[in-house]
Amino acid sequence: MEQQQPKTGKFALNYGLLLGVISVVFGVMLYTQKMHYETNTTVIVISIVIMAAIVFMAVNAFKKANGGYLTISEALKVAVGLALIGTIITLAYQFVLTNFIEPDFMDKAMEIAKPKAMEQNPSMTEEQWEQGMEMQKRFAWIQYPVILIMNCVIGLVLGLITGLILKKSKADY
């Protein structure tokens, strides 16, 4: 009797929920520290490290459940699936934060960015700044699919690296 092979979707769902919860907790932590307006390198690196750790844990758990065997395609399925689920949860939090918890989020973020933008482009007038901000507010929704795609690509890369590290093929005989 053959052992039933585990499903990659189950691992992607469970660890994607874990990634989403940890990302929301990280986002709430940034919010309580009033650091949620800035997108600096440190925050991005910490987010990627969190995702990398969870991808590794998920792929390793799948490998153990699969009798110690893992193909690269299975690692990619688990990693991209969990990145997708975790990102959807994180974007839902971001949507609630920017539209309900703090409806003037965009205005505050623009005010914080204004001095730096004016410094980088001294010929910019106040009117040009206002026009740019109105355009940016109108197209703010585009950030959601862009972030979703970027995180899936990051999950793909992390899954490939993890798959190459943990890969173990079944014997052909």
Q: Domain limits of the chain? A: 8-103+144-166
Q: Is the pLDDT of residue 39 over 80?
A: no
Q: For the residues 9-34, what does the mean pLDDT come to?
A: 96
pTM attached to this predicted model: 0.90
CB of 52 closer than 8 Å to CB of 158 = yes
pLDDT for residue 5: 86
Q: Is the pLDDT of residue 1 over 70?
A: no
